[in-house]
Amino acid sequence: MKKKAILAAVLAATTLTTATAFASAKSFKDVPMDHWSYDALDMLAKDGVIEGYGDGTFRGDQPMNRYEMAEIVAKAAEKYGTADLKDKGAITKLAREYADELKNMDVRLTAVENDVAELRSGMSSFKWYADARMRYAQNKAGDAVDGLKNLNYGAGNKEKYNAGKAKNQNELRLRLGFYGEPAPNVSVNGRLKVENVNIARENCDAGQNSGHTASKDDEKMAIDRLQLDWKAKNGFTVSAGRNEVSLGQGLIYWENPIDSVMVRKDFGDKASLLLGAGDTSCTTWDNEAGFATFANLSAKVSPAVTVTAAYFNQNSDAKTQHHGFDEWSNVYYYQDKLYSTKNNLQQLSLGVNTQLARKWNLIAEGVHNNVDAEDVITIDNTGASDYPNQPSTHKNGFWTRLTYGKLDPSQAKSWQVYGDYFALGGLAINSSLNGKSGSSWVHRLNVAGGNGYGGQGARGWGLGASYMLAKNTNLELAYYKVKPYDKNTAGFDEYDDMGFASLCYSF
C-alpha cells in the first residue's frame, strides 16, 4: 500500500478533526524514512495493536511528519493495557520519542489514562498489588488420626491408641507485591509475604516445628517472589530469580516459588513448553538446598479442553524425623518408633482441564513418583518392620475436581461449588509435614494429602463452596472425609475430619 493511502487511513482512524491541528503539523520536522519508529509502528500494525492499515506496512516514497507519527502513537497507546510485553516496550519508546508532539496534542485516553501519564513522563510501568487471607483450619496437615482400632499385636492384646486431638489453628497471610517494566520486553514481579499462625489449642503445631506452643517460627516474613522476565523473540520468555512455578493441574507443584532459571516457549495460544532448574529450599524451608529440574507442557486441544504433562525431579539430603507407633510392649505402653524421610522426587503427571458445559468444569490429574522407598525412608531406631504404621511405599495417585458455577473475582455475588475425590499414596506427592525440614505444601489441594511425604497417604472426598461477598473479596468453606491410602499398612482406619473457612481479599 502506498504511503498516501496509508496516511489517509491513519488520519481517518485517528480522527483528525481540527484545522488548528493540521496547521500546527507544518511546524514539525519530517521523519526520515530510515528512522527506527517506522519499524516500530510496522511491528505494532502486524501485531494488531494499530488497526485499519491494509497490509500493515509503512513503506512508501514519502516520509511522514512528526505530527502524523504522533497521531499513530496516540492510537497505539490506547491499546497499551492489552498489548503484550514487546509491544508495550515499543509503545513506551515511541511515546518518549514523540513526547513533545503528544503534549501539544493534549492526548486524552479514557481506558488507560494512567498509562499515558507514565508514557509522557518517560517512566516505566509500575504497579503495586496486594492480597490478604484469614483462615481457620481444622486438622490441616492430617497427622491426627482416629486411632489404632482392634489391631492384634503379638501378645494377643487388642487396644485402641489415640494419636491426639484434632489440631486446629487460625492463620493470617499478607502479601504485598509490585510489577514493573524497567525496559522494553523486560518485566519484574516481586512479592513480600508475611504469615502468622495463632495457636488455637496447646498441642497445635504451626506447620514447621513439632510439639510446641507459640514460638518465633509462628510468624514468618519472606521474599515470596522476585522474578525477572525477558520476552525474547519467536515466543520465548526467559525468567530468572525467585520464580513462581505451576506444573500441570497442580498436583505436583502449584503457585510456589523456586529459585531458578526457566525458559518458556509459547506456540501462539495453542500450546506452551516450560523448562527450568533451581533450588526449592525457599519453599520447603530446608536448611539444605533442594536441587530440582522441572518441565511442563500445556496444549489446548479444543476451545474447551486443555491437556498437560508435567515433570518434577528433586533430590535433597535434608531429612525430616517422624514418630510412629510400634508394638505394645511388656510394660503395656506403645513404643515410639522413629523414621526419617528426605525429599526424593521423580514425579510425572498427566492432567486435563475441560469445560463440560457453561457452568460445569472438570479437572483431573494422575501422578507417578518413580522412586524406591529405600531412597526416601530410613528407620532410625529398632522395631519390627511388620507392625502397623510403617512408612508407605505407594507411589501413585490421582485427584479430580468437579465445579459448578462461575466464580469471578471482579464480580460481587458470583459463586462456585465443587467436589474433590482423590487417592494419593504416601510417596505420590510432597504433602505437608510438621517437621523442621524436608517437606512443604507445594501442591494445589486444600488438604495435605496424607500425614507427610512417606507417611500413610490419603484417599477420600471433599465438598467446598466459594462466594464473592464483594468485588475481590472471597469467602470459601470446605470439608473433607479422609482415610489412609492403605489402612492395613497404616494401622488406623481414618483421619479426623478436615476442613477450613477462609476470607481472601485483594487490593
Where exactly are the structural domains of the chain?
3-123, 232-506
Which cell is 35 given? 528512522
> Cβ-count burial of 107 within 10 angstroms (0-12 exposed, 13-18 middle, 19+ buried)?
buried
Average model confidence (pLDDT) across the chain:
75
Do the beta carbons of residue 170 and residue 198 sit within 8 Å?
yes
pLDDT of residue 75: 80
As a whole number, mean pLDDT of residues 97-104 equals: 78
Q: How confident is the model at residue 78 (pLDDT cuts 50, 70, 90)?
A: confident
Query: What are the E-state strand segments in 31-167?
Result: 126-138, 148-152, 158-161
pLDDT at 65: 76
Confidence of residue 490 (pLDDT cuts 50, 70, 90): confident
Q: Give me 451's grid cell.
A: 500425614
Give the CB-side neighbour count of residue 124, counting CA atoms within 13 A: 14
pLDDT at 505: 93
Residue 467 has pLDDT above 80, yes or no: yes
Spatial distance between the Cα atoms of 88 and 94, rounded to a whole number of angstroms: 10
pTM across the whole model: 0.68
Asked whether residue 199 carries a pLDDT value surpassing 80, the answer given is no
Residues with Cβ < 8 Å from 16, sequence gap 6 or more? 22, 71
Angle between helical axes of 36-46 and 66-77 (0-180°, round to 10): 40
Output the pLDDT for position 49: 80
What's the Rg (C-alpha) of the chain? Answer: 29
Task: Give the total residue count for the chain.
Answer: 507
**What is the pLDDT, as a whole number, of residue 4?**
43
Distance CA 102, CA 405 (A): 46
Nearest to 154 by CA among 388, 332, 328: 328
* pLDDT at residue 341, rounded to an integer: 66
Contacts of 352 (CB under 8 A, 6+ apart): 249, 305, 306, 307, 308, 362, 363, 364, 365
Q: Where are the alpha helices (DSSP H) in 260-334?
A: 281-284
The better pLDDT of the pair 263, 66 is held by 263
Report the alpha-carbon distance of residue 438 to residue 214 in Å, rounded: 21
Those residues with Cβ within 8 angstroms of residue 299's Cβ, 6 or more apart along the chain or in another chain: 270, 271, 306, 307, 308
Which residue has 472426598 as its cell numbers?
461
pLDDT tier for residue 162 given thresholds of 50, 70 and 90: very low
Contact 478, 470 (CB under 8 A): no
Contact 462, 445 (CB under 8 A): no
- pLDDT band per the 50, 70, 90 thresholds, residue 28: very low
- Contact of 397 with 422, CB cutoff 8 Å: yes
Give whole-number Cα distances, 495 to 206, 398, 439, 462, in Å: 19, 19, 20, 13
Average pLDDT over residues 267-293: 85
- HEC profile for 404-452? EEECCCCCCCCEEEEEEEEEECCCCCCCCCCCCCCCCCCCCCCCCCCCC
427 close to 395: Cβ distance less than 8 angstroms:
yes
How many alpha carbons lie under 13 Å from residue 370 in its C-beta half-sphere? Answer: 7
Strands 219-231 and 186-199: antiparallel
pLDDT digits (tens, 9 = 90+) for 228-264: 999 998 999 999 999 999 999 999 999 999 999 999 9
Question: Can you state the angle between helices 36-46 and 85-97, rounded to 10 degrees?
Answer: 140
Amino acid 440: pLDDT: 63
Pick 240 or 15 by higher pLDDT.
Answer: 240
Position 109 scores a pLDDT of: 43
Distance from C-alpha of 227 to C-alpha of 243, rounded to nearest angstrom: 5
CATH number of 232-506: 2.40.160
Q: Is the pLDDT of residue 15 over 80?
A: no
Beta bridge partners of 187: 229
Q: Return d(Cα 461, Cα 35) in angstroms, integer.
A: 64
Q: How many CA atoms lie within 13 A of 136 on its CB side?
A: 7
Rounded CA-CA distance 57/41 in Å is 8
- Checking if the pLDDT of 393 tops 90, the result is no
- Return the DSSP state at 70: H
Point out which residues pair with 145 in neighbouring strands: 495
pLDDT digits (tens, 9 = 90+) for 424-438: 998 899 876 544 333
Q: How far is CA 4 from CA 11, 25, 41, 74, 296, in A?
A: 10, 16, 16, 20, 49
Judge whether 417 and 361 are in contact, CB under 8 Å.
no
466-471's contacts with Cβ under 8 Å and 24+ in sequence apart are 466/407, 466/415, 466/416, 466/417, 466/418, 467/413, 467/414, 467/415, 468/407, 468/408, 468/409, 468/411, 468/412, 468/413, 468/414, 468/415, 469/412, 470/412, 471/409, 471/410, 471/411, 471/412
Condensed to tens digits (0 to 9), the pLDDT of residues 397-406 reads 999 999 999 9
C-alpha span between 88 and 78 (Å, rounded): 11
Residue 151 has pLDDT above 50, yes or no: no
Q: Which residue has the higher pLDDT, 377 or 435?
A: 377
> Could you tell me if 465 and 347 are in contact, meaning their C-beta atoms sit under 8 angstroms apart?
no
